[in-house]
Structure formats: structure tokens, C-alpha cells
């Protein structure tokens, strides 16, 4: 206890000494081994059994098994319970072990990666799992960072290095980290690095990705540390030859693992409902047992004494009360088949079958990368049919994260569209001939553009077109690297800048290199070096960037690019006509979902520039309000500019994303985007995939920095929503009653319609606090679309948990990076996209596939079918077993409450295993109410699963009532028919064995007719199983009642000759027919009237489907929705201030 307390106190701060394992070992810091698996060899059996016994039914069966071992009360053999129970446990355990093996395999793969570690004065290869805090590691270019490191030195000047943080925050743009000057001098000198003995004192392990606070003590000096010196596990080193780092946090203490949620035991809502229903059934069973036990006590006291010679009790049972007590337990055993163990075996088989159907679905196979859909957890399939909220990552999940230069407007003329010979605009397809850039040896071969008129304008020397691309080649913070002759590599801070510079490169204006004072561009084959006089860098407030350059002939020019709303205000009045024309072009581009930027330039005189440069220097050296002074200086020069045109960049959505989101929205599924990107980026994508539209009544933006600001913004949004809902009823806003919550009966009034909520990460941190979370969820769930920006991996999980807590709805999380793992684990269903960011999300997921568009088929087809089939299976199964079991209850009143069974023991054993198992299994595996195409075309068909309509407590009670009615008919119709009745040969047929055979045969035929009525989709397998089950019943019946088997086993098969005698009587068959008709006629009548008078949407679609069966299904056209007046700046993709200061400082050169 003292040791644990001491360690906890020490972890209030971390103290790590470089190259000193003995010193660091005293603190017992975690090594770099990670563990995402649930079990090991020692814990598998107890933990797995504990999880399985969370199913109330399994504990119930164990108690029954113990009761069956007591001979005084058991009339059934113990093996009838233990064998199915062991089968259930074994199947479930094997499945769970298989799932966990994948996690172990993933862990081993990561833990056994090799790292170069400085040990005993030399670099040695060491496994990741053996790396410890204090070790010094060497990283090579394009390798993953093994642990959370303090950057010591790198191959780049001034200790700079570039990293990609896609696995942490989803951003693929490069970020800069810089070592302290005092450690960057160590370089790659192994001797000096081995002698480095600095001590780092810092914060304890935490999940804050963007913050780090610490101090380095070395050589009697103290150096402050922050996040700029840290390389976090999961990052990838890019465009940096090598670097050395000191391990601060390892393994589970790293920020990546601190943001990864624990692997949870997931169970479906049907599983949880089944636990409740099993308790109900057990209560019902106890009630029946008590009734029959009381009846036995009364009968024993009043009548039983006269029957001792026939119903013999041993001497120990003389009391009628004790007789009733023993009878109670006997009936508990006899009537236990209301919840047979075969139910759970069948459920596991059905779920496994549904999993294989998903794995085998060719329409979810991605041939480009040979990636099929994969079910990694087989227990959640029916939950796919009940999803209400989807939480999606953006980058790599909805988008491809590929930016392309798509269109542009130059001097009032648009380029990028393709026209036919008659001047009509045509769609670009595979047959469209792209522009030939072969004249340019440095062109990027991946770049494609289809409008040949633009390249012609360049070749004809159009000055405005040349100036347009000159601006693109000069006004940026891209850094270039020419590895081989003619092979240019661009280091880009944001993908949009890369797209613009690449476009200029292909059209003949090639950015070649830069120094702190110059930019070199190859213009149409001619090298031109510009003097770089100033960079007016981008930030979120300015929404623009400018460069001031001097041409070789001495002319000074300002080039500016930025959001049109900002740039148009700073144009010279003479540009008014061109501005309106360009504005129309920008609206057209934005309507197609393209990111837009406006471009402008300004000629400066030398005198004007010198005067302004003095103002800039004063602003740079000011001690107070430096940023405000700089902004004012920038404003001074960025005015009266001349408009050049505009660019349109496409951040390519994955194929089918827009259609998928539209279909899921029609299915009443709400989609929340949780992204690490900044607000403008996320909103741009929201518009591109039509989650956000200009027709929305309001888009609420919550960007407060304090609790009070966030609370005020949320309350304003709430007041607006409730205020509008009182007055508007035009269809855009309406109130509807939601379903009863799964764990309560409170009906919630919610507003749906054209509202959206956009919230930033710093605001979300406050919104997730206890006193605000309810208000946040309330507002968010009223909105059609919710976008959370700049969120950490842990915040993603917290948002999911919040919706689960307050809405009791089924949630689904989908992502492709390590930053999505905690969200995937927190949701009821986790889906991993096999994307560009590795396999971490896939390995943590329950389902995986290659493209976001497959989510539509997974939910609307497989999910809906799985839910539909499982519900029909459960309804029928409970009906069947109550019909089968309650006959014993009615018989108890006519057999002296003696716990005698109606059927012979072999029929009881085989009924659920042989006679009635395969037909219901076939229905649970293959049945479908409508086909896959109609399931997707009519998305509203998905709603019954969300509302939990097909199997709930109400439908369960209906099934029980149906079963009680059928058991009543099965018992009393044969009983009444056989009462004092003689057979055709004059012999009495009202004996117990004939009665038992008649009821058993009636039962098999009734349940077979009932499943035929319940089957919606007939296959050869259904027909074979239903008819085959009846045939097998009669075959086994005659075999067990034959003389031959009686001679071999006289004690086990006492019903000798009975089947042949009973079933040869026409009266017995008439009784069976009457029983069948009386049992199923109410069902037929009810369904006929319901389908005719009150058909559901499913009934209507089925009729339509039958009518169209011989016709080609109608195509469901999705009309493109164009967006107006909401242009989006491509600067949304710059996630932080630009590299301008870094470039002009010369540190990167």
C-alpha cells in the first residue's frame, strides 16, 4: 500500500535522466510495451466465464443443472442440460478467443518493431517494447516515433524536423518541431550523445496532445520545454534525414495510449432485453410451479391417499406440504424448456451466419486494394439495424485527403470546364482527353486538367494568365527539395498549398527553391530569381497571406491570396465590374463543393515600400501588442489591390459519400463529424457532402473560450430553436415524439429539420463538463448536423459516451486512424476504415471495410436484415416453446399434479434439437421482408429497428399469449375428443400413450405451419427444413415405437407399437387437423385484416416488389444540390499560422 502511494505521489511530476537506466528504474516507470488485448492464458477462463455469466440465462441453466442432479425431484436426465450448456460456453469462448488473438497479434507486431537505441555508447537495434524512459533513440526519415520523445538534434539546420501527425489528430499536413539550441549542437555525435546526462522534470502522463510543460536541467542550466520540442508516439518523421530524441513517456504512458479507451465487453440491446425477459420468464415459471405445488398438496391431502398403490411415495414423504415442495422443484425442471439452452446456441449460429454474409458481400469488396468487408466481432450484427447516431472522422473517412486544382477564373474568364463542338458543357469522364504537359519536363505526372484553352492562353503569352500562375508560384510557404535532376519534392504545410503550387508547376511556373531572401521560379523554361522583401503570413483572423517581392528588373510587387470576403474589401474601386463577374464564378465553384480563393496583386513604388517597411520594423520590435501592430501594418499595405481571379480546389470526397449521407439521413440516422481539423475545413467538407446547406434555418457556431461564453452560446441556440418551433410549421421545422427510451418511458420532444451545430475543441472541453453536458446534448440532438472541430481523441470518446448516457440510443463510430480508436471502442459499434493512416483503427474495430459508402449497405441491408431476422427468430422461438411447455401445466390438473410429463422423454429431448430447430434456424439466417435494393431505396424501412418495434416487451407478451393459447388448444382439443371415445375397431383409444402421441404430432405440425406463415422469403433450404423436420419426426416416432428397439432397450422405449396403432385411426388425424386449424386460424385472420386495413411501409414495399419482380427495378436518382452564396476559402486547410516567420528567419535553410 505504501509503495503504491509513494509511486502515485512521485507521478505528480516525472523526473527522467538521460542514459541512466538505474536512476530511472527507481521510479518504476512503464516500459514501451503496449497491450490492447482483453485476456491472457491465465485470465482467459475466469474472465470469459465471468462475462458469459453476465447473461442471466447462463446462470439460470447452471442452477437447473444442479437441480437435475437431485434424483428425488428430477424426472429428466442431467445430460439434457449440461451438454447444450457446454456447447454454448465452448462456442462463445472460442469466438472470444479468436477475436482476442487478433489483438495479441497486433500488439506483438507493434511491440516487436525495431528501434535504434543508444546503449553503452553505441547504437543498437532494440525492440520497441524494451525501450524505457531515459533512452536515447535515433529515428530515420519516414519512420514512426516509438515513444514520446524530447527532440535533441536533427539533420536539419537549427535542430528542425518535420512530422506528420495523422494518427494523432487526423491531419496529414506537416508540422515543425525544433530542438533546443543547446541540444541541437549534439548533432549525430554518438560520443557526445552518450555523455548527455540531462534531467527532464515535467508533467505526469496525460492525454493532452497539444500541451507539454517541463524543464531540462543540464550543465547547471535550466531550459524551459514545451510541445514544440516533443515528438509523440504515432507521429511519422517526414522530410528529415534523421533525428535523436530522449524518451520521456513510454508505452501506456504515451499520449497516444492515454487517448485510447479500454477494450470493452460489448453487448447488444437485444441481449440486455433478453436478460430482463429471462427474469420475467423465471418469475412466470415460479408462479406456475407454486400453483401446481399447491394443487399437489391439496390433492395429496384429499385424494392422493387412495392412489398410493399407483403413485407410490417412499416412506420419507408422508407430509402433503413436503410433497408439494418436492413437486414444485420437479415442475421447475419440467417447465424449464420455456427458455431452452438451444435458444442461445441458435442465436450464436445465426449471428455467425450473418457475419459470413457480410464477409462474403461482393458489393462491399474494394477491388482497387483487394479489401473485403470484415466482421471482427460477431455478436453485434442485429445492433447494426438499430443505429440512431453515427460519429464519423473526416480526413480519410469521408474525404480522400487529396487536394486537386480543379477550376479557376482569370480576368473574368473561367477555365476547367469541357465543352463539345456545339458549345455545350460536357461531363468529364474516363474518355475525356486531359491536357498534355509533355512540353514541361518538371510537370507532376499525377496532375490532370481537361480544359485545353488554359494551356493555349499560356502559350499565347496572355499576361494576366501568366501573372495568375506567377502569383501561385510565389505566394506560399512551401519548401522545395530537388533530390534528383528533374525530381522536385515539395514540403507543404497544408494540402491546398501543395495543390496550388503543383498547378503552377504544371502550367510552366515552377517553384524551384528559396532562401530567406530569395525565391527562384522557372517561368516557361527561364529561371527567374525574385528578392523576397516580406511575407505577410496567414492567420485565422486575416484569412489571407501576401508576399512582397522585387523582380530582376527592380519592380516591387505585392501578391495576395485569401478568402474572397476578405480580399474583395481591399480591391481598388476600378475592379468593381471584374469583382462582380468573379463573384459569380466563385458562387458557381462553391455550388459544386469546391474550396475557393481569390487572388490579387499590387504594384508598389520603392518610396512607398520603404516607408511601409519602417512601419513593419517598428511593429516587429514593439514590446506591447506586437500582433496588433503587425496586423495594422499589414492592413496599411494590403489595400487598393488589383483582382487577378480565383482558384477552385477540390478536396476529393470518397466515392458515394454524399449519396450515403443522404440515405442515412432519410433513415433518421444523425451523423456527427468529430474531426481534429479546424472549423473552416470541417465546414467546407460539411457543405461538400451536403450535411450543411444554405437552406438551413440556422448554423449555430459555438466558439467560446470560457464556461460562461459557451453556456451563453448554447442557451442562445436553445432559445432560438424553441422560439422558432413555436411559430414555424412549414415542414422545415417540426416537432415529433421520439420513441420510448430503451431504459425508460419518458417521451422526448425534439426538433428536427434544418439546423446545424458547429463547436470548436476548446469550447467542447467546457461543454463536456458536468454542469453543461446536458445542455450541450440537448441542443446538439435537436440539430440535423453536428460538427465538432479540433477535438482530441479522448474528446471524441467523451462525446460518444455523452450521447449514450443521455439518449440511450445505439451509437456507431467510424474512423481510419489511431486518433479514432477511443471513439471506436466507446461506441456500441466501432467501424474501422482500411485507409491511408495504418491499420490501428481496423484492429480496434468491430467491423471494417475500405470505403465510407459501404456503411450504407452495412446498415440499411445487413443491419436491417439481421435485426429483422433476429426479432422474428426470437418471437417464434418463445411462441414455440411456450406452446410446447405449457401443455405440461394443463396436464398437471389431470394427473394429480404428480409432475408426470405429457410427452415421452425422447420427444422432450429431441423437440428443440431435431424436430423444431432447423426451420427456425433457416428463417433466422435467410428470411428477408424486402430485397437489398429496396432496403436501400426506401431508407424509412430502417426506422422500426431504431424504435425497437419488432422485438420488445410488448411483442414478447404477445408471443407468450399466442403460445399460451396454442398450448391450450393442443391439450384440450385432443382431451375433449378422446374423452370416453372408442376407436374404429371399438377399442378404447383414450390411453395416456395415444394421447401423448396425438398432442406431440399436433405440436410438430402446428409449429411447422406457423413458421411457414412467418416466413417472408422462401428458399429451397426453408422448404427442405420444414418438410424434412416433419418427415424426420415421423421416421423417429415409428422407429422408437417399433418392436425391435423395444426388445433391445425395454426400459428406455416403453411406447411400443403406439404410433402405429394411434396414427392408423382416422379420428386421430381429424383431431390433429382440428387442433391445427384452431391454433393457426386466429393468426391468419389477424394478418389478413392487418395487411388489408392497416398495412405498414414494409407491406406496401413488398407488394410493390412483387409487382416489379419481372421488371427492372427503378433507379433511385440523387439530384445534385447546388449551394449558393457560401464560398469557402481553401485557407481552411491551413491549421495553424504559416511557415512565414520560419522562412524569413532562415532557420530552415
**Could you give the residue numbers annotated as active site?**
393
Sign of the torsion angle spanned by Cα atoms 651, 656, 657, 659: positive
Cα separation, 787 vs 772, whole angstroms: 18
Chain centroid offset of residue 685 CA: 19
Chain centroid offset of residue 747 CA: 27
Cα separation, 585 vs 568, whole angstroms: 14
> At a CB cut-off of 8 Å and minimum separation 6, what does 807 contact?
388, 389, 741, 777, 781
Map residue 12 onto helix, strand or coil: coil
Chain centroid offset of residue 398 CA: 12
Map residue 514 onto helix, strand or coil: strand
Cα separation, 251 vs 246, whole angstroms: 14
Map residue 1095 onto helix, strand or coil: coil
What is the full DSSP assignment across 43-75? THHHHHHHHHTTSHHHHHHHHHHHHHT-TTT--
C-alpha cell at position 746:
419518458
Using alpha carbons, list the distances in angstroms from residue 567 to 597, 749, 1128. 9, 45, 13
The upper half-sphere exposure of residue 985, i.e. CA atoms within 13 Å in the direction of its Cβ, equals: 7
What is the full DSSP assignment across 934-985? HHHH-GGGGHHHHTT-SSSHHHHHHHHHHHHHHHHHHHHHHHHHHTT-B-TT
Smallest CA-to-CA distance from 33 within 89, 93, 107 is with 107
What stretches of 459-594 adopt beta strand conformation (E)? 479-484, 487-491, 509-514, 518-523, 526-536, 544-550, 556-562
C-alpha cell at position 752:
428536427
Pairing of strands 425-426, 518-523: unpaired
Smallest CA-to-CA distance from 450 within 482, 485, 419, 496 is with 419
C-alpha cell at position 861:
441491408
Cα separation, 1002 vs 1055, whole angstroms: 18
Place of cell 426451420: 919
Chain centroid offset of residue 31 CA: 31
Are 229 and 150 contacting, i.e. CB atoms less than 8 angstroms apart? yes
Backbone phi and psi for residue 481, each to the nearest 5 degrees, phi listed first: -145, 125
Map residue 651 onto helix, strand or coil: strand
Cα separation, 471 vs 833, whole angstroms: 38
> At a CB cut-off of 8 Å and minimum separation 6, what does 20 contact?
134, 197
Cα separation, 1014 vs 1083, whole angstroms: 10
C-alpha cell at position 551:
523582380
C-alpha cell at position 339:
427458455
Q: What is the per-residue burial (b if ≥16 Cβ within 10 Å, else e) of 591-620?
A: bebbbbbbbbbbebeeeebeebeebbeebe
Are 819 and 795 contacting, i.e. CB atoms less than 8 angstroms apart? no
Inter-helix orientation angle 864-892/342-359, to 10°: 170
Are 304 and 357 contacting, i.e. CB atoms less than 8 angstroms apart? no
Amino acid at each position: 500500500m505504501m509503495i503504491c502511494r509513494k509511486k502515485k505521489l512521485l507521478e505528480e511530476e516525472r523526473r527522467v535522466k538521460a542514459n541512466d537506466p538505474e536512476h530511472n528504474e527507481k521510479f518504476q516507470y512503464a516500459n514501451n510495451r503496449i497491450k490492447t488485448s482483453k485476456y491472457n492464458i491465465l485470465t482467459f477462463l475466469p474472465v470469459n466465464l465471468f462475462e458469459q455469466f453476465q447473461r442471466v440465462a447462463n446462470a439460470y441453466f447452471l442452477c437447473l443443472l444442479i437441480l437435475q442432479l437431485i434424483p428425488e425431484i428430477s424426472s429428466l436426465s442431467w445430460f439434457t442440460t449440461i451438454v447444450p450448456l457446454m456447447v454454448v460456453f465452448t462456442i462463445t469462448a472460442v469466438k472470444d478467443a479468436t477475436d482476442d488473438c487478433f489483438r495479441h497479434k497486433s500488439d506483438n507486431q507493434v511491440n516487436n518493431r525495431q528501434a535504434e537505441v543508444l546503449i553503452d555508447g553505441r547504437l543498437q537495434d532494440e525492440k520497441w517494447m524494451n525501450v524505457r524512459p531515459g533512452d536515447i533513440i535515433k529515428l530515420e526519415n519516414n519512420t514512426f516515433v516509438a515513444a514520446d520523445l524530447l527532440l535533441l538534434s536533427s539533420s536539419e539546420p537549427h535542430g528542425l524536423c518535420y512530422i506528420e501527425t495523422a494518427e494523432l489528430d487526423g491531419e496529414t499536413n506537416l508540422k515543425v518541431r525544433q530542438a533546443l539550441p543547446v541540444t541541437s549542437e549534439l548533432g549525430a555525435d554518438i560520443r557526445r550523445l552518450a555523455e548527455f546526462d540531462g534531467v527532464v522534470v515535467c508533467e505526469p502522463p496525460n492525454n493532452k496532445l497539444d500541451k507539454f510543460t517541463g524543464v531540462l536541467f543540464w550543465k547547471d542550466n535550466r531550459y524551459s520545454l514545451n510541445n514544440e520540442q516533443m515528438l509523440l508516439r504515432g507521429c511519422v518523421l517526414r522530410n528529415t534525414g534523421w533525428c535523436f530524441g530522449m524518451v520521456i513517456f513510454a508505452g501506456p504512458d504515451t499520449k497516444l495510449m492515454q487517448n485510447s479507451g479500454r477494450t470493452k465487453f460489448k453487448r447488444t440491446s437485444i441481449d440486455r432485453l433478453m436478460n430482463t425477459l429471462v427474469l420475467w420468464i423465471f418469475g412466470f415459471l415460479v408462479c406456475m410451479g407454486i400453483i401446481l405445488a399447491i394443487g399437489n398438496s391439496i390433492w395429496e391431502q384429499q385424494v392422493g391417499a387412495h392412489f398410493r398403490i399407483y403413485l407410490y411415495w417412499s416412506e420419507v414423504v408422508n407430509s402433503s406440504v413436503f410433497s408439494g415442495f418436492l413437486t414444485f422443484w420437479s415442475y421447475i425442471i419440467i417447465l424449464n424448456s420455456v427458455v431452452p439452452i438451444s435458444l442461445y446456441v441458435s442465436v450464436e449460429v445465426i449471428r455467425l451466419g450473418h457475419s459470413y454474409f457480410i464477409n462474403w458481400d461482393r458489393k462491399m469488396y474494394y477491388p482497387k486494394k483487394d479489401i473485403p468487408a470484415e466482421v471482427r466481432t460477431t455478436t453485434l450484427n442485429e445492433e447494426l439495424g438499430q443505429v440512431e447516431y453515427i460519429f464519423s472522422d473526416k480526413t480519410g473517412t469521408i474525404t480522400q485527403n487529396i487536394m486537386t486544382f480543379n477550376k479557376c477564373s482569370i480576368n473574368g474568364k473561367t477555365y476547367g470546364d469541357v465543352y463539345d463542338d456545339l458549345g455545350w458543357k460536357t461531363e468529364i469522364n474516363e474518355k475525356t482527353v486531359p491536357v498534355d504537359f509533355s512540353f514541361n519536363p518538371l510537370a507532376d505526372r499525377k496532375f490532370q486538367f481537361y480544359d485545353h484553352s488554359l494551356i493555349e492562353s499560356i502559350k499565347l503569352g496572355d499576361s494576366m494568365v501568366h501573372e495568375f500562375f506567377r502569383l501561385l508560384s510565389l505566394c506560399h510557404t512551401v519548401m522545395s527539395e530537388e533530390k534528383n535532376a528533374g525530381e522536385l519534392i515539395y514540403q507543404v504545410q497544408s494540402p491546398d498549398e501543395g495543390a496550388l503550387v503543383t498547378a503552377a508547376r504544371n502550367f510552366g511556373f515552377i517553384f524551384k527553391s528559396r532562401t530567406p531572401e530569395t525565391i527562384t521560379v522557372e517561368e516557361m523554361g527561364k529561371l527567374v530569381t525574385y528578392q523576397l522583401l516580406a511575407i505577410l503570413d496567414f492567420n485565422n483572423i486575416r484569412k489571407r497571406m501576401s508576399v512582397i517581392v522585387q523582380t530582376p528588373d527592380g519592380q516591387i510587387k505585392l501578391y495576395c491570396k485569401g478568402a474572397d470576403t476578405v480580399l474583395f474589401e481591399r480591391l481598388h474601386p476600378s475592379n468593381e465590374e471584374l469583382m462582380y463577374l468573379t463573384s459569380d464564378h466563385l458562387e458557381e465553384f462553391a455550388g459544386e463543393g469546391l474550396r475557393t480563393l481569390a487572388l490579387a496583386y499590387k504594384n508598389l513604388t520603392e518610396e512607398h515600400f520603404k516607408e511601409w517597411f519602417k512601419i513593419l520594423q517598428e511593429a516587429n520590435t514593439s514590446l506591447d501588442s506586437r500582433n496588433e501592430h503587425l496586423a495594422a501594418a499589414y492592413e496599411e499595405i494590403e489595400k487598393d489591390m488589383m483582382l487577378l481571379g480565383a482558384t477552385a480546389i477540390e478536396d476529393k470526397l470518397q466515392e458515394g459519400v454524399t449519396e450515403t449521407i443522404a440515405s442515412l439521413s432519410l433513415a433518421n440516422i444523425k451523423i456527427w463529424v468529430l474531426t481534429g481539423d479546424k472549423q473552416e475545413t470541417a465546414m467546407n467538407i460539411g457543405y461538400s457532402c451536403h450535411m450543411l446547406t444554405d437552406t438551413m434555418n440556422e448554423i449555430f457556431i459555438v466558439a467560446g473560450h470560457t464556461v460562461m461564453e459557451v453556456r451563453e452560446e448554447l442557451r442562445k441556440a436553445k432559445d432560438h430553436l424553441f422560439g422558432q418551433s413555436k411559430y414555424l410549421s412549414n415542414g422545415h421545422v417540426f416537432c415529433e415524439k421520439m420513441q420510448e427510451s430503451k431504459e425508460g418511458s419518458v417521451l422526448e420532444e425534439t426538433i428536427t429539420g434544418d439546423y446545424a451545430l458547429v463547436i470548436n475543441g476548446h469550447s467542447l472541453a467546457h461543454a463536456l463538463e458536468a454542469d453543461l453536458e446536458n445542455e450541450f446534448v440537448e441542443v446538439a440532438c435537436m440539430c440535423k448536423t453536428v460538427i465538432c472541430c479540433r477535438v482530441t481523441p479522448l474528446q471524441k470518446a467523451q462525446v460518444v459516451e455523452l450521447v449514450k448516457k443521455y439518449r440511450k440510443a445505439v451509437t456507431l463510430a467510424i474512423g481510419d486512424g489511431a486518433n479514432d480508436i477511443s471513439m471506436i471502442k466507446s461506441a456500441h459499434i466501432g467501424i474501422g476504415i482500411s485507409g491511408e493512416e495504418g491499420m490501428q483503427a481496423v484492429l480496434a474495430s468491430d467491423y471494417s471495410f475500405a470505403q465510407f459508402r459501404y456503411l450504407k449497405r452495412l446498415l440499411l441491408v445487413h443491419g436491417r436484415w439481421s435485426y429483422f431476422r433476429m426479432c422474428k427468430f426470437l418471437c417464434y422461438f418463445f411462441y414455440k416453446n411456450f406452446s410446447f411447455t405449457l401443455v405440461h401445466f394443463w396436464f398437471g390438473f389431470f394427473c394429480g399434479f404428480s409432475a408426470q410429463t405429457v410427452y415421452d422423454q425422447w420427444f422432450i429431448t429431441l423437440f428443440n434439437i431435431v424436430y423444431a430447430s432447423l426451420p427456425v434456424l433457416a428463417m433466422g439466417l435467410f428470411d428477408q421482408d424486402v430485397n437489398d435494393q429496396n432496403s436501400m431505396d426506401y431508407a424509412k424501412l430502417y426506422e422500426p429497428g431504431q424504435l425497437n418495434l419488432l422485438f420488445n416487451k410488448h411483442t414478447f407478451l404477445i408471443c407468450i399469449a399466442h403460445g399460451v393459447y396454442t398450448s391450450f388448444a393442443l391439450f384440450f382439443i385432443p382431451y375433449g375428443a378422446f374423452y370416453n371415445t372408442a376407436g374404429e375397431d371399438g377399442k378404447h383409444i383414450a390411453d395416456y400413450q395415444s394421447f401423448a402421441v396425438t398432442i406431440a404430432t399436433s405440436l410438430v405440425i402446428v409449429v411447422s405451419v406457423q413458421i411457414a406463415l412467418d416466413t417472408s422469403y422462401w428458399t429451397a433450404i426453408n422448404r427442405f427444413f420444414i418438410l424434412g423436420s416433419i418427415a424426420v419426426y415421423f421416421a423417429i416416432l415409428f422407429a422408437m415405437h417399433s418392436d425391435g428397439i423395444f426388445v433391445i432397450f425395454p426400459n428406455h422405449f416403453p411406447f411400443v407399437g403406439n404410433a402405429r396403432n394411434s396414427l392408423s385411426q382416422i379420428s386421430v388425424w381429424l383431431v390433429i387437423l382440428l387442433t391445427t386449424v384452431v391454433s393457426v386460424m386466429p393468426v391468419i385472420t389477424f394478418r389478413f385484416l392487418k395487411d388489408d386495413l392497416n398495412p405498414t411501409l414494409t407491406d406496401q414495399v413488398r407488394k410493390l416488389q412483387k409487382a416489379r419482380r419481372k421488371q427492372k427495378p427503378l433507379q433511385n436518382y440523387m439530384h445534385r444540390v447546388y449551394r449558393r452564396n457560401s464560398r469557402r476559402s481553401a485557407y481552411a486547410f491551413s491549421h495553424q499560422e504559416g511557415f512565414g516567420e520560419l522562412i524569413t528567419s532562415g532557420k530552415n535553410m
